[in-house]
Amino acid sequence: MHVFADPSNFDAYVSGFLWILKLTGASAVFALILGVLLAAFRVSPVPVLRWIGAAWVTVFRNSPLTLIIFFCYFGLYATLGVSLSDDLNLNNFWLGVVGLSVYTAAFVCEAVRSGINTVPAGQAEAARAIGLTFFQTLRIVVLPQAGRAVVAPLGSVLIALCKNATIVGTIGLIEASSVMKQLINDNGDAVIPIFAVFAGTFAALLVPTGYLFGWLANRLAVKR
């Protein structure tokens, strides 16, 4: 553990995980907004909107995230000149957030859409039969049931997003995985403790999150 007794190494470790948390937080917000919007597109009665949603999901769900992040940096920033901040680190951070968000939005969209599909058609038919309007049906009958069905899949999307945030290291943001690589290269005699600390931190963050979402999903599940 002597590696982490060195303050500069410990600071690197902390700042690496802070970047991961910031990336996860910012991307989660954007991906959730974008994903719900895309899901609304995909279930809308307007064909053009359905096509946009479907195209987005096909393109971004089937592309490797590494390629998307790579494109955000070398394509958007270096070639097309899209700059998101004057600060080099912050620019990489926001480019990473763009990549993570557009990718994760595709998964959020699919999770929300399948959540809506778990509501039996009879529920909406019954709501219409008693005279509720479209928005009343949505607000009082469909969305509350769909929201509960969506908790578990959104939990796994969030966990995957947190793990995927390490890929932003590819474009030069010194996040946890880059810090670990650097520490391993500098301290060949302490490879296992370094790995144990980094992997252990991720496990300590994500295993409880997984159980929390599992518990929530069970608690909120609609009994049919």
Partner 1 sequence: MSTSTVLYDHPGPRARVRNRVLSVVFGVGLVALLWWIYHKFDQAGQWEGWLWKPFTKPTTWTQFILPALGQTLLAATTGMVLSLAFGIVFAVGRLSDHWWLRMPAGVVVEFFRAVPLLIMIFFIFYGVPFLIQGPVSAFWAVVIGLTLYNGSVLAEAFRAGIRSLPGGQSEAAYAVGMRKNQVMRLILVPQAARAMLPVIVSQLVVLLKDTALGYIVAFPELLQRGVNDLAANYGNIVASAIVVAAIFIALNSLITMLAGWLDRRTRQRAFRTPKQTAAPGPTTPGGAAVAEPQG
Which one of 14, 29, 78, 221 is in contact with partner 1 (CB under 8 A)?
A: 78
Task: Sketch the per residue contact string, 116 through 145, with partner 1: x for CB under 8 A, - otherwise.
Answer: xxxxxxxxxx--x-----x--xx---x---
Closer to partner 1 by CB, 90 or 207: give it: 207
Q: How far is the CB of 101 from partner 1 (least distance, A)?
A: 13
Neighbours of 175 (CB within 10 A): 26
Q: Is residue 83 near partner 1 by the rule CB under 8 A?
A: no
Terminal alpha carbon distance of the chain = 52
Encoding tokens for residue 117?
């599909």
Among 5, 46, 130, 131, binds partner 1 (CB under 8 A): 46
Pick the closer one to partner 1 by CB: 26 or 116: 116
Residue position matching structure tokens 């469909």: 142
Residue among 174, 175, 176 nearest 204 (CA): 176
Per rule CB under 8 A, is residue 27 in the interface with partner 1?
Answer: no
The residue among 4 and 70 lying less far from partner 1, judged by its C-beta, is: 70
DSSP assigned state of 80: T
Q: Which of 21, 36, 132, 160 binds partner 1 (CB under 8 A)?
A: 160
Place of tokens 């070398």: 74
Q: Of 153, 148, 165, whose CA–CA distance to 205 is shortest? A: 165
Using CB under 8 A as the binding criterion, the count of chain residues that bind partner 1 stands at 78
Using the minimum distance from each CB to partner 1, give the nearer residue, 87 or 198.
Answer: 198
DSSP assignment string, 184-197: HHH-GGGHHHHHHH
Q: How far apart are alpha carbons 39 and 50 in whole angstroms? A: 9
Return the residue of 89, 133, 195, 212 that touches partner 1, per CB under 8 A.
195
- Member of 15, 22, 63, 84 binding partner 1 (CB under 8 A): 63
Asked if residue 22 binds partner 1 (CB under 8 A), the reply is: no
**Closest approach of partner 1 to the CB of residue 110, in Å:** 5
State yes or no: residue 18 binds partner 1 (CB under 8 A): no
Instruction: Yes or no: say if 222 and 149 are a contact pair by the CB < 8 Å rule.
Output: yes
Q: Quick count: other Cβ atoms within 10 Å of Cβ 88?
A: 10
Least Å distance, CB 140 to partner 1, is: 13
Among 6, 10, 61, 83, binds partner 1 (CB under 8 A): 61
Residue 214: C-alpha distances to residues 116, 199, 219 (Å): 19, 22, 9
Kindly state whether residue 104 participates in binding partner 1, applying the rule CB under 8 A. yes
Nearest of 165, 163, 152, 155 to residue 202 by alpha carbon? 163
